[in-house]
Structure 1
Amino acid sequence: MPLLRQGGQYLAFGLLQLALDWTMFVALTALGVAAAPANLAGRTSGALLGFWLNGRYTFAGGEGGRLGWRQFGRFWLLWLAATVLSTLLMALVEMRLGLRWAWLAKPLVEGALALGNFFLLPRLVYRR
């Protein structure tokens, strides 16, 4: 049951993160900001929300939330690797296919990264 509960919460919180991330990405690129910095801004806002929600609720465990500086440091290392990959992919899609395709590709790219993170976060980030 814990995996099912965690999966449901992770999905719900992930959708909130994606909405924030994607909205910022689309808004900033529509205002003329290049895809790479807009992606960085969107991912940063979504990441801060996700770190708190997932640490406080999804992967909290019986002893309560797992939010501390150690978890935050490990989170940002994982986030940095995913952000480099995401930003490269978004810039490539924009360059090759155009901005509108980048807007459509963003949820797919982030969804794929989120799937990997679901298995990495409790093992690498939210452990004590």
Structure 2
Amino acid sequence: MVARTGDEGGAMSLLRQGSHYIAIGLLQYVVDWGVMVTLSHFGLPVELANIAGRVSGAMLGFWLNGRITFAGESSALGRRQLQRFVLLWLMTTTLSTLAVGAVENAAGLGWAWVAKPAVELVLAAISFSVSRHWVYRR
């Protein structure tokens, strides 16, 4: 585990963490969405393409958020944090996959592509709070 330094509380920390989380999340999302659309375009079922997309951005996000977003005296980036991240990722990926699959079944592949950003936005808000208060803590 590697200890971090930085401010740990207050509005400034929340603002800093929130802005970094959004920037890193946008980068992750572009990779995730691009992989999902590309793979499903070439015939992979949307549920599998979604999982592949989420995997493609997950490790990048884990590392960047641990090193930048949530870096501080009471945080760490090690095995325990990776285990917590994987648990959170499995839960959000399950919810995301079920949601985009349901949209595809109800309205078609094109609508699943359109719905994915909304689904991921809701999950990102939940993930920020869980990451801030549990995943990256010592």
Provide TM-score, normalisation by structure 2. 0.89
For structure 2, the 5+ residue unaligned runs are: 1-11
Choose the corresponding residue for 1:52, options 43, 51, 63.
63
* Alignment partner, residue 14 of structure 1: 25
1:114 aligned partner, one-letter code: A
* Alignment partner, residue 42 of structure 1: 53
Choose the corresponding residue for 1:75, options 85, 89, 101.
85
* Alignment partner, residue 111 of structure 2: 101
After superposition, what is the alpha-carbon deviation per residue over 1:33-55, rounded to whole angstroms, capped at 9, x for unaligned? 00110010001111111101100
Identity percentage over the alignment?
Answer: 56
Choose the corresponding residue for 2:130, options 112, 116, 120.
120
SS in 2 for 1:33: coil
Pairwise CA RMSD of aligned residues? 1.1
Computing the radius of gyration from Cα coordinates, the structure with the larger value is 2
* Alignment partner, residue 95 of structure 2: 85
Aligned length: 127
* Alignment partner, residue 7 of structure 2: none
SS in 2 for 1:127: coil
* Alignment partner, residue 28 of structure 1: 39
Distance 2:18 2:59 in 1: 19
1:54 aligned partner, one-letter code: N
After superposition, what is the alpha-carbon deviation per residue over 1:3-37, rounded to whole angstroms, capped at 9, x for unaligned? 11101000000000110000000000000000110
After superposition, what is the alpha-carbon deviation per residue over 1:67-122, rounded to whole angstroms, capped at 9, x for unaligned? 11110001000110111110000111111111111111111101110011111102
Provide TM-score, normalisation by structure 1. 0.95
For structure 1, the 5+ residue unaligned runs are: none
Moved segments of 4+, more than 6 Å: none
